[in-house]
Amino acid sequence: MPTKLEKVVPFGRTFAVYLKMFNLLDIDLQKKILGVGDGPASFNAEARKKGFIITSVDPIYQFTGAQIKERFEAVVEDIIEQVKSSPEDWVWTYYKSLEDLRKNRLQAMEIFLQDYELGQQEARYQLGELPKLSYSNKQYDLALCSHFLFLYSDHYSLEFHISSVLEMLRVAKEVRIFPLLTLSLKPSPYLNPVIEEVKALGYQVSIEKVDYEFQKGGNQMLKINFSRG
């Protein structure tokens, strides 16, 4: 089913945030990385300037930069207002204030938009979506999924989550997913079933604490890689 722009919440994150969310080290950035559901994050654009090549895949890339910007401008204040109305749900360490949050997300969007056309020409921004990706087996070393799986547990089924995780494991040697909470700040009910499923298939699974927390309690990442000899 084609993605409708009015259903999209284009709220991207910066390279610095990606480093913290996924515990990314220099050795990780040297790998072939696939960002699944990156949206208008500036991770790809900033990585390119630093000499790293990231492939980002997202259904939002069917739209033009102008359309994505227009949608961002239509929703950003509503999102900020939602955060403002529930101050007890957020940890103000990385972002110091609502204005700092707005500036950070605006910066991510601006950097993304400056890079978007070139990135499409260089095939760094590719159209696609879970649970089916058009890449060959183990084409990537590392797949990152930010603020989609587990976060939207109320919107997507357990079957969708399992299929999506297995698909990322098909195309990448390692998968990292952040955060592990739902939008209501509760642990995803799908986390343990997904872990059990992939462990049964011979994957090594760990939950790692990360140096990034905005959702209160949302400072853990799921890491999965293949360990069978």
Which whole number is the average pLDDT over 103-110? Answer: 94
Domain borders along the chain are 5-226
Written in H, E and C, the secondary structure of 24-56 is CCHHHHCCCEEEECCCCCCHHHHHHHCCCCEEE
CATH class of the region 5-226: alpha beta
The answer to whether 197 touches 157, Cβ cutoff 8 Å, is: no
- pLDDT over 70 percentage in the chain: 94
User: Does 9 score more than 80 pLDDT?
Assistant: no
Which whole number is the average pLDDT over 106-125? Answer: 97
* pTM, rounded to two decimals: 0.94
Segment 52-71, tens digit of pLDDT: 999 999 999 999 999 999 98
Give the pLDDT score at 25. Answer: 97
Residues 6+ positions from 47 with CB-CB distance below 8 Å = 15, 29, 33, 53, 54
Give the pLDDT score at 200. Answer: 96
Give CA–CA dist 167/37, Å, rounded: 13
Q: Is the dihedral of CA 73, 79, 81, 83 positive or negative?
A: negative
Q: What is the mean pLDDT of the chain?
A: 93
Give the pLDDT score at 11. Answer: 78
Give CA–CA dist 25/104, Å, rounded: 22
